[in-house]
C-alpha cells in the first residue's frame, strides 16, 4: 500500500499552504495514473512535497528512489518510512546479486585504485596522475562506456564514436602533458575498463550501477509504483535500474537544474527517458521560494516560472563590485558561475576583515596540487609556471574539441590567491583555510551555482558579469 500519512508527520509545507491546482493534478497523476508520468518541477515548486503526497495517496506498493544519500535522508526526515526509500546504488547492487546468484559479492572501494595501479605501475608517464586516471574512468563508466571487448556486434561508426569520445573526455580532464599523450592515456583507461568489467566477487560503487547497464541485466519489478526523485541529475546507468524496478514510474525533476554534467548526468538523459517511457508530463511552475521581483528576474531565463499567490515584492538591485564588501553581512550568500571570481571576491572580503569562506573543501584540491608541483620544480616565477600549465592544457583540450574553461578557471583563481598571499608557501596555507564543506551560519558563504543548489538565504549576491546569456 501507499505511505500511511496517519502514522507519520506530514510535511509542514502541506499544512501551511493550500496546494495549487498543478500540485493536486501532479499528486493525483503520481497516485492514480495508469501510465508513466513525469513531473517537470521548476525551482521551489514543492516537488518533494508533491512526491510524498502522491505516494501517500497511491493505493499500491510504493518505492521512492534517489541517487544521493542526503536526498534519502531528507525524505526520511519528512516522514517517509525507511522501508520505502532506496538509493539507486542499493537498488543496482540488488540487481547485480540477483543476476549472479553464484557469486558472493563484496564491496571494495579500493578496487579501481588497485586495478589502475596495477596497469600503469611505476610508469613515469603516469607519475602523479593516478587520481585523474581514476576520475576519468569513473566518468566514462557513468556515461555507460563499454570496454573494447564488448564492441563485437557494434558498427564501425559506434566504435569510432567511442574512441573519439574517450579521447575527448581525457583531453577535457587534462590527462596529458609534454610526455604523456592523450592516446597513451586512452590505452591505459581502456585496459582499466576491461578489468573493471570482469564480474567477480569484488565490486566498487560505480560497478554497482555500471554492470547492470553494460550487461543489460534483468531488473525484477519490486514495486507497483517507483518514484524517481531528482531525475535530471541521474546518468544513464543510474536510470537503467530506476525505470525498470517498478511496473509504473513517476519521474520527478527539472531540466533547468541539471548541473551534474561533469559526472555524466545532464538534462538530455531526463528528457530522453521521458520520451522512452512515453510518460505523461505534468508541470509545476509556481515557486514558493522567492518573492515577485526575484521571480521576474528568473523569468528572463525560464519564462514559465511563476510567483506564488501572496508573494512579497522582494528586492533585486545592482551594486558595484567595489561596494560589495561594505554591504554584505554574515549569513549572506555570494554565487558565481566559476571559482576564479569567487576567489577574487574572497580577497576583497578578507582585506575588509569580513568572515567569509568558499563552499566545498574540494574546490582548492587542484590548486594545491599545482602549487606543490611549482614548489618542487625549482622554478622561481609562479605566474609564468601557472600560465604555461594552463596554456598547455587548453591547447591539448582544444585539439580534441574538449572544454577548456576549467583550466583557465583554475589558473585565474590560483593567481588571484598568489597575488593576495605573496608567496607559494603563503598560497598553500591560504588554500587550506579558505574552503570549507560547512562554513556555518555566522559567515559569508561564497559558492558556485553548482555547489549552492538547494541552499536558501534571505539575501543572495550574484556576480552578474560572469554569467553568460541564459545561465
pLDDT computed for residue 412 by the predictor:
92
pLDDT computed for residue 387 by the predictor:
93
Q: What is the mean pLDDT of residues 230-237?
A: 89
Would you state the torsion angle of the CA atoms of residues 59, 65, 71, 74, taken in this order, to the nearest 10 degrees? 20
Q: How far is CA 415 from CA 138, 142, 418, in A?
A: 30, 33, 5
Of 53-57, 72-76, 213-217, 464-468, give the lowest mean pLDDT range.
464-468
Q: What is the mean pLDDT of residues 258-281?
A: 81
Q: How far apart are CA 13 and CA 17, in angstroms?
A: 6
Q: What is the mean pLDDT of residues 286-291?
A: 92
Please give the distance of CA 443 from its chain centroid, rounded to a whole number: 25
Would you state the torsion angle of the CA atoms of residues 388, 394, 398, 399, taken in this order, to the nearest 10 degrees? 40
Please give the distance of CA 302 from its chain centroid, rounded to a whole number: 21
Q: How far is CA 320 from CA 170, 293, 326, 327, 464, in A?
A: 39, 20, 11, 10, 10
Q: How far is CA 204 from CA 50, 91, 132, 154, 237, in A?
A: 34, 14, 17, 27, 14
pLDDT computed for residue 134 by the predictor:
92
Q: How far apart are CA 239 and CA 376, in angstroms?
A: 44
Q: What is the mean pLDDT of residues 344-355?
A: 94
Q: What is the mean pLDDT of residues 203-228?
A: 93
pLDDT computed for residue 7 by the predictor:
33
* CA-wise closest residue to 132 among 89, 88, 192, 76: 192
* CA-wise closest residue to 60 among 255, 246, 317: 246
pLDDT computed for residue 83 by the predictor:
66
Q: How far apart are CA 33 and CA 10, in angstroms?
A: 23
More confident residue, 362 or 218: 218
CA-CA-CA-CA torsion sign (333, 338, 339, 340)? negative
pLDDT computed for residue 261 by the predictor:
63
**Predicted confidence band of residue 264 (pLDDT cuts 50, 70, 90):** low
Contact status, residue 164 vs residue 202, Cβ threshold 8 Å: no
Contact status, residue 172 vs residue 403, Cβ threshold 8 Å: yes
- Kindly report the pTM of this predicted structure: 0.80
HEC sequence for the chain: CCCCCCCCCCCHHHHHCCCCHHHHHHHHHHHHCCCCEEEEECCCCCHHHHHHHHHHHCCCCEEEEECCHHHHHHHHHCCCCHHHEEEHHHHHHHHHHHHCCCCCCEECCCHHHHHHHHHHCCCHHHCCCHHHHHHHHHHHHHCCCCCHHHCCCCCHHHHHHHHHHHHHHHHHHCCCCCCCCHHHHHHHHHHHHHHHCCCCCEECHHHHHHHHHHCCCCCCCCEEEEEECCHHHCCHHHHHHHCCCEEEEEEEECHHHCCCHHHCCCHHHHHHHHHHHCCEEEEECEECCCCHHHHHHHCCCCCCCEECCCCCCCCCCCCCHHHHHHHCCCCCEEEECCHHHHHHHHHHHHHCCCCEEEECHHHHHHHHHHHHHHHHHCCCCHHHHHHHHHHHHHHHHHHCCCCCHHHHHHHHHHHHHHHHHCCHHHHHHHHHHHEECCCCCCCEEEEEHHHHCCCCCCCEEECHHHCCCCC
Q: How far apart are CA 328 and CA 349, in angstroms?
A: 9
> What phi and psi, each to the nearest 5 degrees, are found at residue 463?
-80, 85
- Cβ neighbours of 9 (radius 10 Å): 10
Which of 54-63, 277-286, 370-379, 443-452 is the most confident on average? 277-286
Structure-block grid coordinates of residue 146: 563499454
pLDDT computed for residue 471 by the predictor:
39
Is residue 73 scored above 50 in pLDDT?
A: yes
Is residue 253 scored above 80 in pLDDT?
A: yes
More confident residue, 132 or 267: 132
The single residue listed with the C-alpha cell 571559482 is: 339
pLDDT, tens only, 74-123: 777 777 776 688 888 899 999 999 999 999 999 999 999 999 999 998 89
* CA-wise closest residue to 172 among 158, 185, 159, 157: 185
**Predicted confidence band of residue 439 (pLDDT cuts 50, 70, 90):** confident
b/e sequence 348-379, b meaning 16+ C-beta within 10 Å = bbbeeebebbbbbeebbebbeebbeebeeeee
Q: How far is CA 392 from CA 130, 176, 404, in A?
A: 19, 9, 11
Structure-block grid coordinates of residue 333: 550568500
pLDDT computed for residue 360 by the predictor:
85
**Predicted confidence band of residue 362 (pLDDT cuts 50, 70, 90):** confident
Is residue 290 scored above 80 in pLDDT?
A: yes
Average pLDDT, the chain: 87
* CA-wise closest residue to 344 among 267, 285, 412: 412
Q: What is the mean pLDDT of residues 59-79?
A: 80
pLDDT, tens only, 166-207: 999 999 888 888 889 999 999 999 999 999 999 989 999 999
Is residue 468 scored above 50 in pLDDT?
A: no
pLDDT computed for residue 48 by the predictor:
86
b/e sequence 51-65, b meaning 16+ C-beta within 10 Å = bbbbbbbbeeebbbb
* CA-wise closest residue to 284 among 85, 471, 48: 48
Count the residues in the chain. Answer: 471
Determine what percent of the chain is predicted with pLDDT higher than 70: 93
pLDDT computed for residue 428 by the predictor:
93
**Predicted confidence band of residue 403 (pLDDT cuts 50, 70, 90):** confident
Q: What is the mean pLDDT of residues 146-175?
A: 92
Amino acid at each position: 500500500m501507499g505511505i500511511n500519512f496517519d502514522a507519520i508527520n506530514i510535511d509542514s509545507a502541506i499544512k501551511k499552504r493550500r496546494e495549487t491546482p498543478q500540485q493536486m493534478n501532479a499528486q493525483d497523476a503520481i497516485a492514480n495514473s495508469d501510465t508513466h508520468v513525469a513531473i517537470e518541477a521548476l525551482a521551489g515548486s514543492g516537488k518533494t512535497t508533491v512526491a510524498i503526497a502522491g505516494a501517500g495517496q497511491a493505493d499500491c506498493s510504493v518505492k521512492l528512489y534517489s541517487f544521493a544519500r542526503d536526498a534519502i535522508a531528507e525524505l526520511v526526515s519528512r516522514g517517509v518510512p525507511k522501508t520505502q526509500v532506496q538509493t539507486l546504488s542499493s537498488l543496482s547492487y540488488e540487481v547485480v546479486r540477483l543476476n549472479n546468484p553464484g557469486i558472493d559479492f563484496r564491496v571494495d572501494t579500493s578496487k579501481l585504485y588497485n586495478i589502475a595501479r596495477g596497469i600503469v605501475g611505476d610508469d613515469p608517464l603516469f607519475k602523479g596522475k593516478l587520481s585523474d586516471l581514476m576520475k576519468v574512468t569513473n566518468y566514462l563508466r557513468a556515461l555507460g562506456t563499454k570496454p573494447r571487448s564488448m564492441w563485437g556486434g557494434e558498427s564501425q561508426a559506434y566504435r569510432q564514436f567511442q574512441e573519439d569520445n574517450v579521447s575527448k573526455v581525457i583531453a577535457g580532464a587534462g590527462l596529458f602533458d609534454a610526455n604523456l599523450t592523450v592516446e597513451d592515456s586512452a590505452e591505459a583507461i581502456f585496459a582499466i575498463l576491461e578489468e573493471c568489467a570482469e564480474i567477480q566477487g569484488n565490486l566498487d560503487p560505480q560497478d554497482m550501477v555500471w554492470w547492470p547497464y553494460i550487461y543489460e541485466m534483468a531488473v525484477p519489478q519490486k514495486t507497483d509504483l517507483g518514484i524517481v526523485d531528482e531525475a535530471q541529475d541521474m546518468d544513464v546507468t543510474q536510470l537503467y535500474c530506476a525505470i525498470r524496478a517498478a511496473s509504473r514510474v513517476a519521474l520527478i525533476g527539472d531540466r533547468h537544474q541539471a548541473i551534474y554534467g561533469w559526472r555524466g548526468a545532464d538534462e538530455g538523459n531526463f528528457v530522453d527517458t521521458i520520451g522512452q517511457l512515453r510518460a505523461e508530463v505534468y508541470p509545476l511552475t509556481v515557486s514558493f521560494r522567492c518573492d515577485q521581483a526575484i521571480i521576474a528576474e528568473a523569468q528572463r531565463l525560464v519564462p514559465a516560472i511563476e510567483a506564488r499567490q501572496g508573494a512579497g515584492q522582494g528586492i533585486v538591485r545592482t551594486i558595484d563590485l567595489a561596494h560589495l564588501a561594505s554591504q554584505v553581512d554574515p549569513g549572506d550568500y555570494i554565487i558565481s558561475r566559476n571559482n576564479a571570481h569567487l576567489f577574487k571576491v574572497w580577497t576583497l572580503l578578507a582585506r575588509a576583515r569580513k568572515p567569509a569562506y568558499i563552499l566545498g573543501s574540494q574546490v582548492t584540491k587542484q590548486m594545491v596540487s599545482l602549487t606543490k608541483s611549482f614548489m618542487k620544480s625549482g622554478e622561481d616565477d609562479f605566474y609564468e609556471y601557472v600560465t604555461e600549465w594552463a596554456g598547455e592544457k587548453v591547447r591539448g583540450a582544444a585539439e580534441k574539441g574538449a572544454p577548456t574553461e576549467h583550466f583557465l578557471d583554475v589558473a585565474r583563481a590560483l593567481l588571484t590567491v598568489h597575488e593576495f598571499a605573496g608567496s607559494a608557501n603563503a598560497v598553500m596555507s591560504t588554500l587550506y583555510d579558505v574552503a570549507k564543506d560547512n562554513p556555518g551560519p555566522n559567515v559569508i558563504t561564497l559558492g558556485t551555482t553548482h555547489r549552492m543548489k538547494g541552499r536558501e538565504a534571505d539575501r543572495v549576491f550574484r556576480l552578474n558579469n560572469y554569467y553568460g546569456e541564459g545561465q
